[in-house]
Each structure stands twice: as structure tokens, then as C-alpha cells.
Amino acid sequence: MMNPFQHHQQQQQQQFLNDLDSIENWKRVQTLGSGTFATITLWVNKETDEKLALKQSYMDVQRFSKKEITYYNERWQQEIKLMKKLNCENVVKALELPKEFEQLSINNGIPILAMQYCSGGDLRKVLNESGNCCGLSEKEVREILKQIGSAINCLHNLNIVHRDLKPENIVLQPLPNDRILYKLTDLGFAKQLSETTSANSFVGTFAYSAPELFLTTPYTSSVDNWSFGVIAFEIVTGRRPFLPNHPVIEVLDAIRRKKPDDICTEIDDMGGNFYYSKEIPPINHIGNTFKSDLEQWLKMVLQFDPEKRGGRMAYKEIEKITNKKIIEIFSICSYETFTLEINEKTQLRELKEKIFSYSNIIPSNQYLFYQNGDKLSERIGQQIIQTWYQPRSWFERYNPIIINLFDYSKPVSYQEFYKFLCLPNRVEKMLMNVNGIDDGNGDDYDDLKLTWRNSVFVARQTVKKYRFIHNTLKSCLLNSLQKFNQLQNENSHLFNQLNQLFSLINFSEKLLWKNYQQNPEDGGAIDDYDDQDIRPILIKLKNLHEWRHQITEHFDQNQRIIPKFNKELFLFQDFFQSPEIDPELWSKYDDIQKAYDMLRKMKKIDYKESAFSNNNLMVKLLCDIFRLVEKLMKQMFSVLSILIEFLRNIRNQRENCQRIRMEFRQKEEFENDLEEFLFSHVIHRRQNRYHENSTSSTESSEMINDVDRITTESHQNPEQPEKNFIWEEFFEKFQKENLEWKSKSFDFGSLEFKDLFR
């Protein structure tokens, strides 16, 4: 072991990577990170474009004792050993050090660690973005917890405790299709323990360290469970759970006094005192199902007693939570979103009952459709999972999938969206100060930052609700087109069926009329069959004509339900090509983020003299974004209300189609009766009469074929005989209605029922 003087001499001779521009084919691009004990630099191969992150240990002998230098050198050697041992997708891999750097490592006497380069930066960088000040989206949170949970579980299976879990040690590797691979890095504080041993040295970062690390008591891998729980809470809410930014002693005291089910502290806006909570604060961007699951999980991993933090079961539980199949329901009427868990056995009826418990819309009045306009299958769980959640990459992209909801029984109209926002007390108080006079919050820099932080949350909600309405309008347009096409097909099929029936009716009436014309003096040979036979037939024919009149009304109504839009106000093609978020809206949201970002980066002593000394600027920015969103939403709702009314009308018309089809089946029974009557009482009797009275075979044949000609010949008005029986009453009306029906043409493109002779 070298003494401090020898190490000092060696250090003076060392070449540090961050001081070099290139080594043979390798060029230094930038310094990725620099700390007390090491620096990390990015290098790229000029020939192959390969990129490497190289970590080099550095110890200033003038700052550290011999004992400390020895300890950190051993820690460095251990990190390299552990990194090379691991083979986990979510842990940064140690790579073979290129031969060009080997000599430098030998000359310095301290090895250089070559690692994968993750170009997305670290999680702290993501959390520091202004838009994420109140937490990340549910998709991001799910992926981080699932992937980093897998990495920690991998370490624990090898009896390795990381001991320094924090956002700075989670890096991002962008992948195709907007996917991100999250990786755990920096095993400098990692320690290998057997399942029955523990450690008692303090390492890690205070804000994320388990309480037992401060008490110099032995600890196990459960310290990682605590740190992981703190990270989980922070990525959901944007802050740490227990008295963030307070002195360590106060934080430890608050943790020690909390009850087992307490997962965070909250600050009372009025008195400034803190209280404990068993729930994740409402200022977040995750759904109710995921929130409820995480609350139960946090109650386990944030236990003061290390033995009750779930051990390795905690990581199996987080895997189970993040693998749940979730759908998000967006209610058009209330701008409300809520989430529900599904599986392959979930039925539409069951889903509607769950929706009723959240929305108070009874199942029969619920109209549901996907964002691509598709309708929901009765086996909705199977439909969603097989269509969108397989394969795995699709699950990560689409979970949760969004389903739009509106109430069939109520008209849809614009409502002031800001009434449905989750408005923190601080923001509500700020906006109520309508005269722009400072209410006192501006006197405290930290208080002002918190109010503006909550304002960013409100602005992000506003943009999200606009995006939901914008996408819902697109979905509604697609769904209307699909439903309209279905109505076209159903009407086409129905029209063809009706034509077959009415052709038979027309033929039958012509035959009966022909029979009457040839024998007017005896009532159309009415004596040949009983009155009780003919009267029911005539009455049913009359009922059929009345029914046909109702059907004509159905087809006429199809044309009237098609909505008319003012093309100057709304161009469908332009709307479908428009972005999810209006550019002007995005600009105003960006202004709010920039204002908050400038305030939090400003020194406390400088903010009083700036435009950020009170809430006036933020009030103006929020009011600007509210006014713009209200204007845009009113335009969209003017179209949305028409489309939803169109969907209601389509539903009614399709129900009419269904009713007419059911009635048609009943009429088919009469069709059989009519055919039997015609054959037995008219056609057969006429054939017999022709045979009895004919003088030649030619004449007989012509008389027999006369029945066939009836189906094609046009009706000619006969000389009107003296009114007799009820034949004229029926057939004059029947003939007129038959001609009216035959003059109709159905345009299936526009659902228009046209008169050909007008």
C-alpha cells in the first residue's frame, strides 16, 4: 500500500481524461459528470462512431486522510468488480475498456471503468423540467417503477445492496418509437451482503436514505426499499414525502413519529404546520386506480421498521401493479377522467356498471367509443388486450387506452372547463385577488414559488383537458362516419327485403284486380269463395299499406338527420391534420413554465426588485390561457354537440331498422298465407275456369299464361263499373300507393329517399 506522499507523487503524474482532447481514434466529446471522487467523460470513436462513458477515479490527497483514500480506492475497485459481474437490462453495463485507454489506466495505477453511454441524461434532469414540477405522467411513472424495480430486484438477488438510490443515479436511454430504457448506475456505494448479514456504515444521500442509516444500527437490503419508495413518491408528486427541504433532524423526527400507514406530510396553508397523510396528494398526474395501488405499496416500503418493508416481495408487488391492464374513461360532459382495471374476461355490461359508479350515468344511456372511432365489443377486455396491449411494446405505448363517454339522454354543450379543474387553495386564493393587489404571498419567496409551482400544475391540467376534447372531437367524427356507414348498409339490406315483399303484394293485388275486372257483375267471382276467406286478406293488405307508409317515413327521416356544417367555420380536413395542442395554446403554456423557471432560479435577494415579486404576472398568464382555451373549446363544442346529436339520431334510426326487421318477419307469415290464398282461390280457380270454357288449346294456353303476364304488364285503368262490394275502396288506394313506392329511389350515399318523377 502506497503512503500519502507516494500517492501524491503519482497523482501529479496522472493524466485525467477530462484534460485530454483525444487518444488515437477516440475523441473526447464532453464531461458528463464530475464529483469529489470521480469524473465521467464521453468519448466517441472517429471511425466507428461508437460512444463510451469512461469513469475515472480521482482523490485529492490534500483534502483526504490516508485512511479515507484507502477506503475510497477500495470502493472504486468494488464498483468495477460489481459492474462487470452484473448482466441486467436496467443496470448500466460495464464494457471492455478499449486498448487505447489501457496504457493510461496502467500508468495511473487506478483502473478506468468503461460503461454504456445513455444519451437521455438522468432522472433528476427530467424532474427539474418546469412542466414536471408536480410529478410525471402515469406512463412515465409506470415505466420508471417497473424498470428500476427490476434493476433493484436483480441486485438483491445477487445479495447486492445499492445504498445510494436517487434520481441522479437513474439514467435514460432513448429507444425507437418514443420508448425509454431506464437504467440504474453508480454502484460506488453498493455492498455485497449475504442474506443473513447486515452493515452499519453510513453511506448514500441524506434525502433518500432510510432512517436506520442515521441511527448507526445494522441495516439490510431494506434500505433500498425505503429509498425506492421516496423516489416513487417524488416522481408522482414532484417532491419528497417527508418535510422536503427541512433540516435532517426535523425530517428524522417526523419519520420517527409517523404512524405505520402514513406515507407523507402535508403543510397547512393557513398555519404553516405539517400534518400526516395516508394518501398521495391530489396535485399529481396519475389516474385513480394507479394512485390507489401505489398508496398501498408506499405504506409498505415507507415503514419505519425495516422488517416490515416487504423485502423482495415489494418488487414483485410493484411489477404486479405496473402490469395491470388499465383503461381511462373521459366524460365529455364533465371533462372528468377516471381509470378502471380490466382483464380478458371483462364484459361490456360489467364495465358499464363500473362506469355508472363513477359517472352516475346509467348503463343504457352510456355511449362509449375509442379514440380511433371504433365501437366497443361485448367482450371488451379481450378486444382491448388482444388489439392494443399485445405485444409488450404496444402495452407500454397504449396502456392506459382512452375511451370516450357521453350521456345519450342529455344534450352536450360547452361548460366552463375551469370549474372542473383541480384547483389548489393557493392558486384559487391568487385568482380571487382580482384587483391585482398583492395578498401578502409575495412577501415570502418560498411561498411564492410554491404558489407558482401549483399554477404550472393548473396550466398543465388545462392543456390536458383541451387535448382530450380535441382528440374526442376527432374520435366523434370517425365514429359518426362508421355509424353512418353501418346505417347505410342496414338500410340497403332492409330496402331490398321490403322490395321483395312489396313486389309480391303488388303482384297479388294486380291478380285480384284482374280477377275482379273480368267478372265485375258478380263481384269478381266472389261467390266462388267464402267472404270469410277474402275479407281477412284484404284487411291485412290494407294494414300492410299503412305499415309501408310508416316505413316510407323512416327512409325520409334518414336524409333529415344528416348534419349541415358551416364550412367557413369548420373544415374537417384541416381539423384532422391539426396538432393535438393548438400552437398558440402551447406558447402560452410555455410562458407559464418559463416564468416559474425564472423565479425558482432567481436568488432570493434579487426577486423583490423583479417582475416576479408578486402574483400579478402569474394571474395574467393563467387568465390568458383560460381565455384562449375557452374560445377554442366553444368552437369545438359547437361541432361536437351537432355530431353527438347526429349519433343519437343514427342510434334511433338503427333502432327503427331493427324494429322494422322484426315486423318484417311477422309480415313474412302473411306472405305465405297470401301465396296460399292466391294459388288456391284465384289462380287455381281461374285455370279451372279457362279449361272449362276454352274452345281451343291456343286460347286455353293464353288464358293460363295471362297469370304470368300480370307480373310485368302495367296497370291500365278499367272502365269504372258500378261500385260494388269493397273492391274499389281497397284497390284504388292500393294502386296509388304501389305506384308511389315504385317511383321511389333510395340513395345509399346520402341516405336520401328520392322521388324519380319529380
Q: Which residues are catalytic?
A: 164
Backbone angles phi, psi at 354, to 5 degrees: -65, -40
Give residues with Cβ within 8 angstroms of 730, minimum separation 6.
538, 541, 542
Contact 264, 241 (CB under 8 A): yes
Contact 754, 740 (CB under 8 A): no
Question: Which residue type does 442 have?
Answer: G
Per-residue CA distances from 202 to 196, 206, 210, 217, 531 (Å): 19, 10, 10, 10, 109
Alpha carbon dihedral 36, 40, 41, 42, in 10-degree steps, equals: -160
The residues facing 328 across adjacent strands are: 339, 402
Tally Cβ neighbours within 10 Å of residue 243.
Answer: 19
Q: State the DSSP code for 375.
A: B
CA distance 648 to 48: 62
Locate 197 and state its grid cell: 448479514
CA angle 688, 691, 692 (to 5 degrees): 90
Q: State the DSSP code for 277.
A: E
Contact 18, 41 (CB under 8 A): yes
Nearest Cα residue to 234 out of 123, 400, 399, 90: 123
Alpha carbon dihedral 631, 635, 640, 643, in 10-degree steps, equals: 170
CA distance 388 to 346: 15
Nearest Cα residue to 282 out of 454, 166, 98: 454
